[in-house]
Structure 1
Amino acid sequence: MPLTTAPDDDDDGAAVRRGALRALDQGLFGPGSVSWKVWAAPTALIGFQRAIVLEHLDPLLAAAAADSGGMYRNPHGRFDQTFGYLLTIALGDSRTAVRTAQAVTRIHTRVTGTDPVTGRRYSANHPGTQLWVHVVAWHSMLRAYEDFGPGRLDEAEERRYWAECATAAELQTCGPAGVPRSREEAAGYFARLRPALCTSERANDGMRYLLWPPLRAVGARLWAVSRVTAALTLTTMPDFFWRTTGFPRPRLTHAAVRACRPLLRLTMRLAAHPAPATALTSAIAPTCGHILRAHHAARPPLHPATLTPAEARKRYGAPRTREPAAVS
């Protein structure tokens, strides 16, 4: 995903031509936000892998992923672009965030079809599907940050994190209404959806591919990193993941990860410094590394303020439209 959109004739064109991640303003969250802290941490690599695996428990999303086939045709590029999109929303200025989100929504309008497992129609922009993707991503980032990073957020930070999660949802077709606003509400959301979650041969194949991509498909660097992150990712999976998929729990691996957790936290703390963080990320995901480098090197923007998604859309984007519900 591009970091910036093409300049136009408005007063901010010169700032956009600078090509900075936050040329115009401080984005949707701004300095000191919990989102910047969590999403820019090296634990985000683990959180992202967790999210894209768990997403496959939604049968409609699993069908969309399998039918489109992008992760099989270009797994490295799809990983880099999708993770880069999420980082752009969290770290970019408001124009970059809203334009990028609208571009992805337009791409998703072509991703429609019928799920062979349930017989239901799917649409990548369906509000329910987008809400699942959004909540799983933000929950996974927080879980990885807590398990392998600095630890649990304090009460005020956690409230702010979930409020920022709802803010980011305004860029999706789901909107913020159904977004959990606390850890407890997130648990309730997953409990409500649990009866509708299921798996299939295609979904299990997709999850295995995302956890352990083949060497020939992704190259040596991502192949090696994925083996390490998969071991960490699987220790964070909820009980319903194991019950639904039927995957055997790697108990010895889980025990080893728990024993090594203090060392892992220290490693992540060292890797959180800008130089190693961008070097590590760039080695396996060039677009994401470029975004992190721009984030850490960002100069004061043209307008030192944050904008709401509604303000950003009014100023920089097309009016927001909702995707009609898919036919069941």
Structure 2
Amino acid sequence: MARLKRSEVEPHEDYGFFGPGSVVWKVWSYPTAPTVGFQRSVVVEELNPPLVAAVDATQGIYQRSRTRYDRTLRYFAMVAFAGSLQVCKAADVLVKVHSKAIGQLPYGGGTYDANDPASQLWIQLTGWHSILYAYEKYGPGKLTPAEEKEYWEACAVAAELQTCSPDDIPRDRDGVRAYFERMRSQLSASPIARQAMNHLLKTEIVLPPVPGWAKPASMAVAKAQRIATIATMPHWMREMAGIRQSRLLDILIVPVMKAAFSLAHLNSRVELRLLGRISPSTVAVIAPIKLGVPPRNEEVLTPAEARSRHGYAKPAEAHLELRARQAARVFGDGEAPSERGLIESQQILGPLS
């Protein structure tokens, strides 16, 4: 990645839904977010049977691991940092993308739908919890009570960009713990879940090719992140998924990662260069924040205000006809779903290959 000049950075049209001084920008802009935090979220998610069924059916994480990671991270970063119009477009097209992720559950019977509010709630909470947990463990430490309250309120705001209801988002740590405890009986380390989790723990799958002399260093970085991510996972979850790691490694990795992330955070350009290695399309989203490029309009909107201004429906109410047609193709006619949404998404979420 070439050196990014401040004058070359395209400003966002506004501050989106959070803005400077928010706890979201504080936590999500720390280098733990796109690395350990994000990896933890996508690994833990796979224990949810409907979610992993959709992941396994598309095979995207296996066939295009790097671009899948890049596009997903870009979306989460957009919600946190991008302008309101850009986020509304992304949330809208994501409903179309998810409309094709429907089918029969491979284990236990029943069906899955990536737009189902329960699945979206699981994604939302595992993502936001993982980003915060990594920040606390390998970053500056715990938030103040006021900051934590603001964080979970912000999570509810972000949920308005999904098909789940913001009313279902817990507003404190106890509520989040209670949610995961309720979900525990519904989780399953099926063969496809174990396969997906172990695949996603291979950090090297999202790193770009390097010359031979740099491969040992690249593999060392990938191994360190894998150890760090596993160290954030509760032991009952590791046992369920058959993931083994000693308690000694759990302890030893903490000072190593804290030092590495602290050093990276000293220089915004270094952070952007490192981000460019794992998620090139996310750089344009976060560069204005890292380099202090103000938006065209210095205002923060609510999702409702943004939808009204830009003409978008709530995600839960969006593209109902398309979703019905997809269901008819898959469950009625036994055909493969249309990839219309996936193709359209490339202009917003990045290329598929």
State the SS of the aligned residue for 2:142.
coil
**Separation in 1, partners of 2:280, 2:242:** 34
Q: What is the CA-CA distance between 1:290 and the residue it aligns to?
A: 3.0
Q: Out of 188-197 and 315-324, give the one that drifted further.
A: 315-324
Q: What is the CA-CA distance between 1:229 and the residue it aligns to?
A: 1.1
Q: Out of 247-256 and 308-317, give the one that drifted further.
A: 247-256
Describe the shift of the 1:268–1:139 C-alpha distance in structure 2 as closer, same or farther (beyond 3 A): same
Aligned partner of 1:275 in structure 2 is 269
Do the aligned residues in 1 keep the contact of 2:11 with 2:295 (CA within 8 Å)?
no
Describe the shift of the 1:143–1:121 C-alpha distance in structure 2 as closer, same or farther (beyond 3 A): same
Pair 1:26-2:20 in alignment? no
Pairs within 5 Å for 1:133-212:
133-212=123-202
Q: Out of 163-172 and 290-299, give the one that drifted further.
A: 290-299
State the SS of the aligned residue for 1:57.
coil
Aligned partner of 2:241 in structure 1 is 245
Do the aligned residues in 2 keep the contact of 1:170 with 1:309 (CA within 8 Å)?
yes
Residues 123-180 of structure 1: per-residue CA shift (max 9 Å, x gap): 1110000000000000000000000000000111111011101100001000201111
List alignment gaps of at least 5 residues for structure 2: 1-7, 332-353
Pair 1:302-2:302 in alignment? no
Q: What is the CA-CA distance between 1:270 and the residue it aligns to?
A: 2.0
For 2:270, give the aligned amino acid: P
Which residue of 88, 94, 99 maps to 1:104?
94
Do the aligned residues in 2 keep the contact of 1:108 with 1:124 (CA within 8 Å)?
yes
Aligned partner of 1:7 in structure 2 is none
State the SS of the aligned residue for 1:247.
coil
**Separation in 1, partners of 2:107, 2:149:** 38
Pairs within 5 Å for 1:36-185:
36-44=25-33, 45-185=35-175
Q: RMSD over aligned Cα, in angstroms? A: 2.4
For 2:182, give the aligned amino acid: R
Report sequence identity in percent. 37
State the SS of the aligned residue for 1:113.
strand
**Separation in 2, partners of 1:100, 1:281:** 20
Pairs within 5 Å for 1:280-295:
280-295=274-289
Normalising by structure 2, what TM-score? 0.81
Residues 182-224 of structure 1: per-residue CA shift (max 9 Å, x gap): 1111000001111111111111000000002666996458765
Which residue of 291, 297, 307 maps to 1:313?
307
Describe the shift of the 1:217–1:67 C-alpha distance in structure 2 as closer, same or farther (beyond 3 A): farther
Q: What is the CA-CA distance between 1:279 and the residue it aligns to?
A: 1.0
Describe the shift of the 1:170–1:215 C-alpha distance in structure 2 as closer, same or farther (beyond 3 A): closer
Do the aligned residues in 2 keep the contact of 1:43 with 1:145 (CA within 8 Å)?
yes
Aligned partner of 2:258 in structure 1 is 265
**Separation in 2, partners of 1:214, 1:99:** 31
Normalising by structure 1, what TM-score? 0.87
List alignment gaps of at least 5 residues for structure 1: 1-17
